[in-house]
Structure 1
Amino acid sequence: MANSVYEGLEQLGSTSTQPKTPEEAVLEMVQNPRAGTDYLVRFTCPEFTSLCPVTGQPDFAHLVLDYVPDQKLVESKSLKLFLQSFRNHQAFHEDCTVGIAERLVEEMKPKWLRFGGYWYPRGGIPIDVFFQTGKAPENIWIPDQGVPTYRGRG
């Protein structure tokens, strides 16, 4: 396993505790085995939670991460633990969404990244927050994120 792309990963295949804060969370990377080929990777987190910084009440979102990797892929278990670290984190929707995207860009260094935060209503108003690093590569198929605008029960 000396030349394995999994070498150096500490969270995959072992029991890992949920980080207490996003700053404490470790995002692990693996080498992209198809670094010479452009392709899209999508992660969907339909049950993201954080806390309102004013009331301390829980906020809920459906997150969608699309990225075209360069040299690194984010390891999925570490991404899951990173997102779970927001469970007790107090921040506005915009801060959570953009902060997650910026950290992913900083650590992954993707060719392109798009991040959608589709927040469930609080006080009757849903908030959707979107982040993108630039123009999408022309040769990549990028499907719609598939999250409809909020319509309530009507």
Structure 2
Amino acid sequence: MRDRREPPTLADLAAGDRPAEPADARPFWEVKRLEEMTAAEWESLCDGCARCCLNKLEDWDTGEIHWTNVACRLLDDGTCRCRDYENRTVEVPDCIPLDPKAIEELSWLPPTCGYRLVGEGRTLRWWHPLVSGDPETVHQAGISVRGMTISEEGLQLEDYEHHLVDWPGEEE
């Protein structure tokens, strides 16, 4: 079974922490609203891209969000997972935990984010682990930030503008 600091993996879900299938046999993310999901269902919506763990810059005049490859100090660049998921909001006070209300309000969630897609009534992408059955497909599809980040540790805020990037799927 998984370390409780990490969201459930597909193996965990298969081992008994699996969300219940709805009566009509469609996947839970197609029939439930975000607010109706169990904790295991909610956590499994994370595709593991880790884009939400990147620092973003907002243009104060236009409100436009600019992406960087500067990662939260807790992000493991190799796994795209938080090194201290359970305590992340204590370790990083400006970490924003995702919940259904936050999903509605956060303009910077990637358009490919499973939470955002389901919240908008759209379908998960082929590479999402719940669809593909493989947590590696998000990386193989080039959607994740695996191997492309630098840590915010030791970096000055004024240097972030030198780390602006465009991620796949941002043009949606």
Same fold (TM over 0.5): no
TM-score (norm 2): 0.22
Structure with more strand by fraction: 1
Q: What TM-score comes out, normalization by structure 1 length?
A: 0.23
Higher helix fraction: Structure 1 or Structure 2?
2
Bigger relative contact order, structure 1 or 2, given CA contacts below 8 A and separation 6+? 2
